[in-house]
Amino acid sequence: MAFLLELLTGICLATLVSAHIPGVVQRDTPSSPKYRISPLDGSKIALPTKEQLDFQDKEIGVLIHFNMATYISIDGCNNVPTLVPNQTLFDPTLINTDQWMDTITNLGAKYATLVAKHNCGFTTWPSNVTFQTADNETIKYNYTIAQSPVRGENVVKSFVDSAEKYGVGHGFYYSVVVNNFLNVQNSEVLATTLSRGQVGITNSTYDQIVLDQLTDLWTNYGQLTEIWFDGGYSATQKGKIEDLLQSLQPQAVIFNGCDTDGTCVSANSIRWIGTEAGQAPEENWSTGVTNDGGDPDSPYFCPAECDTTLQTGDRWFFGIDQPLRSIEEMINVYHQTVGRNCLLELDLTPDRSGLIPASYAARYKQLGDFISSCYSEPVAAKTTHSSSDKGVYTLTFDYPTSIDRIVLMEDQTNGQVIRSYQVHAKIVDALDANGTLNVPWSLVSNGTSIGHKKIDIFDEAVTVTEVMVNTTYVDIPKWRSVSVHLCDRLADGTSTEED
């Protein structure tokens, strides 16, 4: 009876708010999930926003770490509350944000998120915020690029101008919970003696500074693709941040915008995968708000983003003589993120001159070239067929054809509905006396979540005449695409012994 009441309620609501999707429950606030009721088993199917689906389509982005921490030996002011490096250190004499975009587009990235303020507290734009100190003195926020050797420059504006010129979506990372300059950790002003370079304030003043600087960033630099909250925000900041987002940047997707209880500052939320290694779980859903592989039964549509570094040792800001991860490892990162229904956000690290080092640019391009060469032109099938009621997709070939992987994409417009899949193929064996006649089906891969994209690489290349994908689901699925490929495994991390 409970199921029947819920189903009927959902259908009635759907008639009012979205007649073309049966059982829709409308999201009234960012904290309220939007879902529909499965016509097959009564389960909840989380529904995405257009902005979430558009963001998943971008697949690859970069997180640009260029700030005061570029000029110190350790990787940021993290966990060193008294560290406030002098403004004179920030001196990018050759900075050229167009050069950044050359590297970004060579990688194939479609969006870029700039660290506008990290934990040191330094802003790479000339913030004009004024505030009252603990000594009741009104001052300007004077830990910015305007107090550096490159005063008169505005890295944020240059970045935005270049991104728009190159057609790359742009966004901002702003560290809300830590600001060493203002003696703030975990969104709270510390009750400690001020160290050199620090300014004393109250907690309410800090909350206002955050809102004023976010207002500046979200008002003066165009329509944002992504907004990053690293570590979230405090309970006292949350409501005002939510209102500010809805007022100024309602279309932006928000990284780390939901608490684990499902309360969110935006309907366009993106969750963290829970690791910075560049690896999503094999079973990774587009739904759920926890920092892991998600939950297929969650009423919240909240895709995962996998952030990771190009430099070794989990190093985010530029490190002198810091080794880079190999191209083989980075290809594995691509397959274990984008290939597992996770957006790949790869760190981009300008050096102290303000340029992307040549060796870094070459590695990004290597990765972009591999992705393009492997996946831009699928192996052509003679015919393809998607069943309208059984969730089956088949590809038939003119002649025995060699493949070594399959790319599955689910149409998630009405939610992620596939719960498992099996890929079978008719493999032609050179020793098979029957040739291509009466070839049995062989299982070549299987899994659970597909979502935006799932890439399965076979144990070895096979020669096939047909490929068939079978699924289980909570509603009849719609395929966005199914394609097969044959790639250069010498350049592919899958050719290593670990496989």
**Choice between 171 and 14, residue whose per-residue pLDDT is larger:** 171
CB proximity list for 378: less than 8 A, separation 6 or greater: 407, 483, 484, 485
Residue 2 pLDDT more than 90? no
Residues 6 or more apart whose CB falls under 8 angstroms from that of 345 comprise: 60, 61, 62, 63, 113, 305, 306, 307, 308
Residue 29's pLDDT band (boundaries 50, 70, 90)?
A: confident
Model confidence at 50, pLDDT cuts 50, 70, 90, reads: very high
Side-chain-side CA neighbours of residue 208 (13 Å): 11
* pLDDT value, residue 260: 86
pLDDT surpasses 90 at 429: no
pLDDT in tens, 331-344: 999 999 999 999 99
Question: pLDDT at position 435, please?
Answer: 56
Give CA–CA dist 429/216, Å, rounded.
65
Residues linked to residue 338 through DSSP beta bridges, in sequence order: none
Query: Average pLDDT, stretch 187-192?
Result: 97
Percent of the chain with pLDDT over 70: 91
Query: How many CB atoms neighbour CB 383 within 10 A?
Result: 10
pLDDT at 17: 34
Where do the domains of the chain lie, and which CATH numbers do they carry?
Answer: 2-44 (no CATH), 50-375 (3.20.20.80), 383-495 (2.60.120.260)
Angle at 33 between CA 31 and CA 34, to 5 degrees: 135
Using one digit for the tens of pLDDT, what is the confidence trace for 462-488?
Answer: 999 999 999 999 999 999 999 999 998
- pLDDT higher than threshold 80 for residue 55: yes
H helix or E strand, kind and range, residue 102 = helix 97-107
Residue 423, SS3? strand
Band of pLDDT at residue 418, cut at 50, 70 and 90: very high
Binning pLDDT at 50, 70 and 90, where does residue 438 land?
A: confident
Which sign, positive or negative, has the C-alpha torsion 355, 357, 362, 363? negative
Give the lowest-confidence range in 99-113, 164-178, 238-252, 436-450: 436-450
Query: Could you report the per-residue pLDDT of 223-233, keeping only the tens digit for each?
Result: 999 999 998 89
**Cross-strand pairs, 176:** none
- The answer to whether 468 and 392 have CB atoms below 8 angstroms apart is yes
b/e burial code for range 309-319 (CB count within 10 A of at least 16 → b) = bbbeeebbbbb
| pLDDT value of residue 433 | 46
What are 265-274's pLDDT values in tens digits? 999 999 999 9
By C-alpha distance, which of 417, 373, 401, 387 is closest to 484?
Answer: 401
* Cβ–Cβ < 8 Å for 121, 183: no
Amino acid at 148: S
Pairwise pLDDT comparison (388 vs 203), residue with the higher score = 203
Among the listed residues 311, 310, 320, the one whose alpha carbon sits nearest the alpha carbon of residue 352 = 320
| pLDDT, position 272 | 97
**Residue 476 CA: distances (Å) to CA of 39, 389, 411, 416, 479:** 9, 6, 11, 10, 10
Distance, CA of 19 to CA of 15 (rounded, Å): 5
Question: Strand, helix or coil at 97?
Answer: helix
d(CA 318, CA 70): 6
Instruction: Looking at 174-281, list the stretches that DSSP marks H as alpha helix, in order from N- to C-terminal side.
Output: 203-220, 235-248
pLDDT above 80 for 15: no
Give 3 or 263, the one with higher predicted confidence: 263
Q: How crowded is the C-beta side of 475, counted as CA atoms within 13 Å?
A: 23
Of 16 and 357, which is predicted with more confidence?
Answer: 357
Phi, psi of 370 (to 5 degrees): -65, -45
DSSP per-residue string spanning 354-418: SS--HHHHHHHHHHHHHHHHHHSSPPPPSEEEE-SSS--EEEEEEEEEEEEEEEEEE--TT---E
pLDDT at 389 over 50: yes
- Angle at the Cα of 21 from the Cα atoms of 19 and 26, rounded to 5 degrees: 80
Average model confidence (pLDDT) across the chain: 92
Please report, in angstroms and rounded to a whole number, the separation of the first and last CA atoms in the chain.
50
* pLDDT, tens only, 153-187: 999 999 999 999 999 999 999 999 999 999 999 99
Least confident of 17-21, 78-82, 117-121: 17-21
Confidence of residue 499 (pLDDT cuts 50, 70, 90): very low
Distances (CA, A) of 222 to 29, 161, 230, 348, 431: 25, 10, 21, 22, 63
Which one-letter DSSP state was computed for residue 70? G
pLDDT score of 24: 60
Residue range 205-218: average pLDDT?
98
Q: Would the pLDDT of 434 be above 60?
A: no
Residue 11 is predicted with a pLDDT of: 31
Model confidence at 490: pLDDT above 60: yes
Q: What is the model's pLDDT at position 16?
A: 30
Phi-psi region of 187 (alpha: psi -120 to 50; beta: other; left: phi over 0): left
Distances (CA, A) of 401 to 259, 379, 382, 404: 48, 8, 11, 10
Provide the pairing of β-strand 44-46 with 304-308.
unpaired
- Which helix (H) or strand (E) segment holds residue 226: the answer is strand 226-228
